[in-house]
Amino acid sequence: MTFTHHEQSDQPEHPFAEYVRILGKGKKGSRPLTQSEAYQAMKMILADEVLPIQLGAFLMLMRVKEESPEELAGFVLAAREFCQLAETAAVDLDWSSYAGKRRHLPWFLLSALLLADNGTRVFMHGATGPNQDRLYTQEALAYLGLSAASSIGQAQQQLAGQGFSYLSLEHFCPKLHEIIGLRPILGLRSPVHTLVRLLNPFNAPYSIQGIFHPGYRPVHQQAAALLGQPHAAVLKGEGGETERNPDMDCLVQSVHLGELSDENWPAFFTRRHVKSEQLDPRQLALIWQGSVEDEFAESSIIGTAAVALKLLGKADSQQQAQALAADYWQHRDKQKYQG
C-alpha cells in the first residue's frame, strides 16, 4: 500500500497516537505516563478504541521502559472500572497466581488452603499461559479434589463455603486475558502481566503478590500505596509465584496504611536442595495427607504461610508467624484434600 505525501498529511492523528509518542519519542524526548495518562490509555485499550498495531507498539514500548508505579496504578484503576470489579465478597486475602511453576510444584497452594482452613478467606486469581512446561494453579487444583470457580458468583459461593476460591482472569476480565494471550505473538510479557497481579477483584484489605524480577518488587509496593491498598506484601517468589523458596533469603516489601517497609526473611537451609527431575502434581495431596515427607516442600508451605500471617497481623514477629504456621500445619485435617 502506498500513500502520497498529501494523503498522509491530511489524515487526522488517531487519539491513541499521543500515548505511543510519549513513550517512544527517543532517549531525550520520551517520558513515563502520568497516572492519569496511563488510566486514559488503558481505558481506550480495554474499550477497543485502539488499532492492533498501536496496541503492539504501546505494550512493547512499555515493556522496554518498564512500568512506573504511577503507570501501574493508572492501568489498574482503568481495569477495575472497565471490568466492573466493584462487587464485594467476604475476602480477607487477595492472592495473585499468574506465573505457573516449572522447577518445583505449587506448594503455595497448600499454604493458601492452610490459611483458609484456619479462618482466613483467601481469593486466588490467575491465568494459564502458553508454556506447556509449566504447571498452572488452575490445573493443580484437581489434584487436591478442588474445582476452579467459573464466575464471580460461584467464587463468592466457594468463599462462603470453604474460605478459598480460585477464579481465572478470563471469567472476570476477558479483555485483559485476551491481551495476556498475545505473549506468544509478541515474544515478550507485557504490562498486563504486571497489572493483573494488583487487580484485587473483591477489594480485600490484604493482598500478597509474587514476582520473578526483583526490580518489580518496589514498583508493586509503591503502586499498592498509590492505589490506597491498606495492607500489601510483595516478594520475589519461586518461579514468580507467591511462594518462599526455603533455600534462599526472602525480601518482603510491604505497605501498611500508607507506610512502606522492607523485611528480610532468612533462608531455612544453608545448602540448596536438588530439584525433582519432573513435576508430579499428585505429590501435592500426598504431602498434605502426610503420606510423603519432603523438607523442602514443608518448609516452603510453612514459610509462605508465615509471611501471609505476618501481613495479616496474626503474628507480631517472624518467629511468631513461623510458629503459628507450623502449628497450623501440624494440626491440619489430613483427610481434607484428596486428589
Q: Where do the domains of the chain lie?
A: 14-82, 93-270+278-330
Q: What is the residue-level pLDDT of the chain in tens, covering all 339 positions? A: 554 444 556 789 999 999 999 999 988 899 999 999 999 999 999 999 999 999 999 999 999 999 999 999 999 999 999 998 766 778 999 999 999 999 999 999 999 999 999 999 999 999 987 777 899 999 999 999 999 999 999 999 999 999 999 999 999 999 999 999 998 899 888 889 999 999 999 999 999 999 998 999 999 999 999 999 999 999 999 999 999 999 999 999 999 999 999 999 999 998 888 888 788 999 999 999 999 999 999 999 999 999 999 999 999 999 999 999 999 999 999 999 987
* Residue 269 pLDDT: 93
* Rounded distance between C-alpha atoms, residue 295 and residue 273, angstroms: 9
Q: Do residues 95 and 164 make contact, with C-beta atoms less than 8 angstroms apart? A: no
Dihedral Cα 264, 269, 270, 276, nearest 10 deg: -120
Q: Do residues 122 and 163 make contact, with C-beta atoms less than 8 angstroms apart? A: yes
CATH 3.40.1030.10 fits 93-270+278-330, yes or no: yes
261 sits in which H/E element: strand 259-265
* Residue 1 pLDDT: 52
pTM, 2 dp: 0.94
The CATH number corresponding to 14-82 among 1.10.760.10, 3.30.460.20, 1.10.287.620, 1.20.970.10 equals: 1.20.970.10
* Secondary structure (H, E, C), 137-178: HHHHHHHHCCCCECCHHHHHHHHHHHCEEEEEHHHCCHHHHH
Residues 6 or more apart whose CB falls under 8 angstroms from that of 279 comprise 101, 102, 104, 105, 135
